[in-house]
Structure 1
Amino acid sequence: MTALLAAKDISVRLGGRTVVEDARVTLSAGELVALVGPNGAGKTTFLKALAGLLPAFGTIELEGQPMSALKPHERARRLAYLPQGHSFSWPLPAGEIVALGRYPHADPFSPVSDRDRAAVDHALDITGTRQFADRIVTTLSGGERARVALARVLATEAKIVLADEPIMSLDPRHQFVVMDVLRHAAQAGGAVLAVIHDLALAARYADRILMLEKGRIVADEKPEIALSPEKIATIFGVEADMICLGDAQVPLVRKPL
C-alpha cells in the first residue's frame, strides 16, 4: 500500500547551521505517530520541512507523488499543518476561522457548499468548539484557541495532519479530548504526525514513536521500545519507570539524572 507521506534524507540548514540531518519518516493510513525529543532537537523544523514550509534537501512524497510537483491547493487538500502557539491575527468569530479550513477546496468565487458546511460543523463538534463559534477568536483563552486551530485543520479534511504540540496550553481533560480526536482522524483513514512532549500520552496514543536528537532520528519504533527507561535516560536525561495502564506500557518520569 502506498504511504500517505514518505520523506527520505531530509536535511535543513538555518543560519548556516544544520538543524535536521538525513531524517526520514513514512506515514501510512491509520497511523498516529508521535514525534518526541528534547528542546532544540529540531522537531518543529522537521515538521515544517515536511509541510513544505521550509526549504529542505531530500525527497517528500504525498500518496506517491512528489510534493514539489503538486500545486499549492492540491498540497493543501492532502496535508494540513497545525503550528504551535495558536496565534490569530484577525478578530474574527471562531466559526469563521474554522471555515477557513475549506479554502483549499474552492476558488474565491465559489459559493459555500453543503460539504463545506458539513465539514465545518463536524470539526466544531468533535473539538468541542461549537460553543465558541460566534465569539471573537482573540477573546478566547489559550486552550480554547488551540482547539479552534485544530478544528480549522480538521475542516480541511486532509488525509495527512502534521501537528506541532497540539496539546500545549490545554488542561488535562482537553489533552485527552485532542489526542482522542487525532487518534480518530488516523483511524478514519488518515495519518497523523504530532509533536508531543508528554511521553506518557505519547506512549498511550501513538502507534509509533519517532525520536529526534540533535536533528537526527535515533528511534522509529513502537512506544514500548522507543520509550524504554534506558532510551529516556540517554536522550532526555531523566530517570523513568514503566507502569502498566491497560494494554500500554507507559513511562513515568521520576527525576533528572
Structure 2
Amino acid sequence: MKIVVIGGTGLIGSKTTSILRDGGHEVIVAAPETGVNTITGEGVADALRGADVVIDLANTRSLEPSVVLEFFEAHESSLLAEERKAGVKHHVVLSIVGADRSPDNGYFRAKVAQESLIRESGIPYTIVRSTQFMEFLQAIADSAQQNGAVHIATGLFQPIAADDVAAVVAEIAGSQPLDGTIEIAGPDRAPFNQIVGTYLARRGDDRPVLPDPEATYFGGRVERYSLVPVGNARLGRIKLADWMERTPARRTA
C-alpha cells in the first residue's frame, strides 16, 4: 500500500513512518523539507500519484487564531483537491480531543474547521482525536510561567505518549475508513496542574506549580472535562510514570 504522510518529518510523522515501513508499506514523507508544500501546491500532485492513503499531520507553529485558521483552511482545501484528482481512498487526520467543546480556543476552532472540510470532501476519512502528547509537558510548563511560578488550570488532563499516537495512526491508515471519529488518550487521568507538577518534580525542576482555574490553554478557558474524552476512547499502553522514568531527569545545582 502506498501511504503519503503529510508532515512526515515531525514528532508523530517520523514515528508513524517508521512503523509503516516496518510493516512493508511504501511511504512517502511529504513536508516542505522534502519539497512538498500543501499551501503553495509545490510537489503535492507528484507525491500523491498512486497513493492509497494520506495521513494528514500538517501543523503550524503559530498560535495566533486568525493565522492558524487561515493555515488549516488553505492547507486542507489544497490537499483535498489534489487527493480527489489522485483518487486517494482514505484520508486520516490527527486532531484534538475536545476541539469542538472549547469555542474560545482559537487553535481548537481551526481544527474543527479542518475536520469540517474533510467530512464534506467526499473522500473516505478517519479523524483521530488525541489528547496532548507527553512530550509537550515541558513546553506547556514553560509557557505557563509567571514570576517564577507555573500557573496551570485545574481541569482534568490525560496526556498520551507520542509512540502510542503513532501506533494508532499507523493502524488506522492500514484499516478501512470509518467515515467518523475516534478518540485516543493516555492511561492516566488527573488534574492538569497535578500532572505538570509531577512531571517537573521528576525532571528536577523546582518551580512551584500553582493551581489556577483562570489559567488558559491555547488561549481558551479549561473546564473540568475540556481536554479529556467524555465517551469511549482508546487508551495508550504507556503510563505517564513509565514515560517519565525513561525520560532523563534534569539535574539541578
For Structure 1 versus Structure 2, the TM-score category normalised by the shorter chain is: 0.3 to 0.5
Task: Return the structure number with greater strand share.
Answer: 1
TM norm structure 1: 0.32
TM-score by length of 2: 0.32
**Which has the higher relative contact order, 1 or 2, with Cα contacts under 8 A spaced 6 or more apart?**
1
